[in-house]
Amino acid sequence: MKIAIFGASGGTGILLTGRCLAAGHQVTALLRSPEAFPLRDRVDVIYGNACDGHAVLETVAGSDVVLSALGARTWNKEDVLENAVPHIVTAMRQTGVRRVIALGSSGALPDALDKQPFWRRWIVQRFVYNTFLKWPVASQVSQYATLSASGLDWTMVMPPLLNNAPGRGRYRIDGEALPRNGSHISREDVADFMMQQIDSTQWIGKGVYITW
């Protein structure tokens, strides 16, 4: 299978890339700095960034599936998802590629915390989403809106806080809200779940929450 990956050099993206290669898939990765990417000799590299429509189109063309691990790398207003995801959607429409699996965030939808204890909802909404995560959350809201209106076979995987701990190989998923007391999960487990969606139709056209 031919897989296009955006955000391949990020913490989750490099795990996705490695898993795709281990599974025998042919990978095309859009990279701003290919020389720094440890798997560059094993992937088809497109030089550029995801805010360049031409580079995105070249990356998507000929693929069977698109994986995106794009996201803000700081708490500042970066607009990466606001700019990149529409380019990805447009490129997929132009090339006839249907399946896209994107890394999102549990803050993308207003009902994300409905299953959390009241004290946690209050703290997160008042002191997290409205302060230092204001712009990253806004970007995830934008990504969800773009994907849900795309007409593509999309899935947005929505974890809470990501960490670099070893994967446990088990996690909780929920299509309605973040599972109760869910507050973090490893990138390895998120990458594992995203890979499973390549051959699954369960969450097509949906966002899905995942946590330990």
Q: Is residue 100 a contact partner of residue 92, using CB atoms and an 8 Å limit?
A: yes
pLDDT value at residue 119: 72
In sequence order, which residues have a C-beta less than 8 Å from that of residue 134 and are 6 or more positions away? none
Q: Is residue 120 a contact partner of residue 182, using CB atoms and an 8 Å limit?
A: no
Q: Is residue 116 a contact partner of residue 59, using CB atoms and an 8 Å limit?
A: no
**Tell me, what CATH number does 68's domain have?**
3.40.50.720
pLDDT value at residue 127: 60
Kindly indicate the confidence band of residue 72, based on its pLDDT and cuts at 50, 70 and 90.
Answer: confident
Residue 14 pLDDT > 90: yes
pLDDT value at residue 113: 87
Is 138 in a helix, a strand, or coil? helix
Kindly indicate the confidence band of residue 132, based on its pLDDT and cuts at 50, 70 and 90.
Answer: low
Give the model confidence (pLDDT) of 29-38 as tens digits. 999 999 999 9
Whole-number Cα distances in Å, 73 to 87, 117, 143, 193, 194: 19, 29, 15, 22, 20
Q: What is the pTM of this model?
A: 0.94
Four-residue CA torsion sign, 51, 53, 58, 62: positive
Average pLDDT over residues 136-150: 96
Average pLDDT over residues 15-23: 98
pLDDT value at residue 75: 66
Kindly indicate the confidence band of residue 197, based on its pLDDT and cuts at 50, 70 and 90.
Answer: very high
Is 26 in a helix, a strand, or coil? strand
- Of 121 and 13, which is predicted with more confidence? 13
How many other C-beta atoms are found inside a 10 Å radius of the C-beta of residue 47? 12
Report percent pLDDT > 70 for the chain.
Answer: 97
Count up the domains in the chain and report the number.
1
Domain interval for residue 60: 2-211
Please provide the distance, in angstroms rounded to a whole number, between the alpha carbons at the two ends of the chain.
30
Q: Locate tokens 């990417």: which residue?
A: 37
Q: Is residue 84 a contact partner of residue 50, using CB atoms and an 8 Å limit?
A: yes
Joined together, the tokens standing for residue 77 give 């207003």
